[in-house]
Amino acid sequence: MLIKNANDIASSEITPKHLYLNRRKFMTGMAAAGAAIAVGVGLHNLASPPATVLANAKIDGVQKSPFSTTETITPYKDVTNYNNYYEFSTDKYEPAGLAKNFKTRPWNITIDGLVKKKQVLDVDTIIKMAAPEERIYRHRCVEGWSIVVPWIGYSLSELIKKAEPTSKAQFVEFTTIEDPKQMPGQRGNVLEWPYVEGLRMDEATHPLTLLCFGMYGEVLPNQDGAPLRLVVPWKYGFKSAKAIVRIRFTDKQPLNTWARSAPGEYGFYSNVNPHVDHPRWSQAKERRLGEFLKRPTLMFNGYDQVASLYSGMDLKKNF
């Protein structure tokens, strides 16, 4: 496969169809506007924003982050065409196409459980709550492949502060959307739906834990978890839930979907750990997408600053 660096790809190459559709919409709008003027109708409705948000919309005012790795960024084409997203398909190449028309607006997120004020927030309200940062993180899938992605978002701790969890809250549970009409994978039962994930409170409030709504300078593509996902870089990829609709604070450890479906293979913690193998394969090495030779996997995926969260814990038992 001949892949260029994402920065070298002209936007016309990434999204010719979007641009084309945009231009068409614009021209239809112009014609309609002309007609509206002719009959004396106001332009107000014609200028209302589209119901869907295009993946290639730029995100402005993004700050760089000291948490970013300087490793080579994985090409955009790979990160948007090789996905784990079981709500759409168990095939890694299919989500890109199947998620194309997935509706990410309007989108509400319920914040409830052990919080001072339960509330339902519009995703755009959440997106605007804190300054967006670009975080170039390594991402290691439990299946042995890895990527380096310039995500855009802010620390989940910012949202948690505003949600005001009570002193009883010890875990956060994330529930993702259930909509089998839009998500063909949910019409089958490869997993129990909706997809649920969870973090311990200190993991959720760790500054590395990212509430993510963009990547590569743009709005998150649907297949990568639009409109809102989690990115927890020291854990296996499945902890980073996509398309979140509910954030619940609880005093009990949530039963995450993968641990529920195969408790002997996937645990709650799922920290990247080259010394604890998956029962069916080694976790000592990984293949970076686009590379030929495998590279060694690092403890906590190289994010040593989280080690103190697990001091005194047996990570072979708490896998």
Identified binder of Mo ion from the candidate list 98, 237, 244, 288, rule CB under 5 A: 237
Both structure tokens of 195: 């997809």
Which class for 110: exposed (0-12), middle (13-18), buried (19 or more C-beta within 10 A)?
middle
Residue 87 contacts ligand MTE per CB under 6 A: yes
From 7, 219, 266, select the one nearest 107 (Cα to Cα): 219
143-162 residues near ligand MTE, rule: CB under 6 A: none
From 100, 80, 26, 81, select the one nearest 215 (Cα to Cα): 80
Provide CB contacts within 8 A for 117, sequence distance 6+: 163, 164
Residues forming beta bridges with residue 110, ordered by sequence position: 120, 246
Identified binder of Mo ion from the candidate list 73, 79, 121, 141, rule CB under 5 A: 141
Residue 307 and residue 319: Cα distance in Å, rounded? Answer: 14
State the minimum distance, in angstroms, from the CB of residue 278 to Mo ion: 11
Bond preceding residue 227 cis, omega within 30 of 0: yes
State the minimum distance, in angstroms, from the CB of residue 223 to ligand MTE: 6
Show the site string, 164-193: x = touches ligand MTE by CB under 6 A, - = not.
------------x-----------------
Provide CB contacts within 8 A for 312, sequence distance 6+: none
In the list Mo ion, ligand MTE, none, the entry touching 83 (Cβ below 5 to 8 angstroms by class) is ligand MTE
Q: Which stretch binds ligand MTE (CB under 6 A): 69-77, 240-248, 259-267, 309-317?
A: 240-248
Identified binder of ligand MTE from the candidate list 59, 224, 248, 270, rule CB under 6 A: 224
Residue 18 or residue 92: which is nearer to ligand MTE going by CB? 92
CB 120 within 8 A of CB 111: yes
Identified binder of ligand MTE from the candidate list 77, 135, 138, 242, rule CB under 6 A: 242
Residue 241 contacts ligand MTE per CB under 6 A: yes
User: Coil, strand, or helix at residue 72?
Assistant: coil
List residues near Mo ion by CB under 5 A: 84, 141-142, 237-238
Which residues of the shown chain bind ligand MTE in the complex (CB under 6 A)? Answer: 79, 83-87, 141, 176, 195, 224-225, 237-238, 240-243
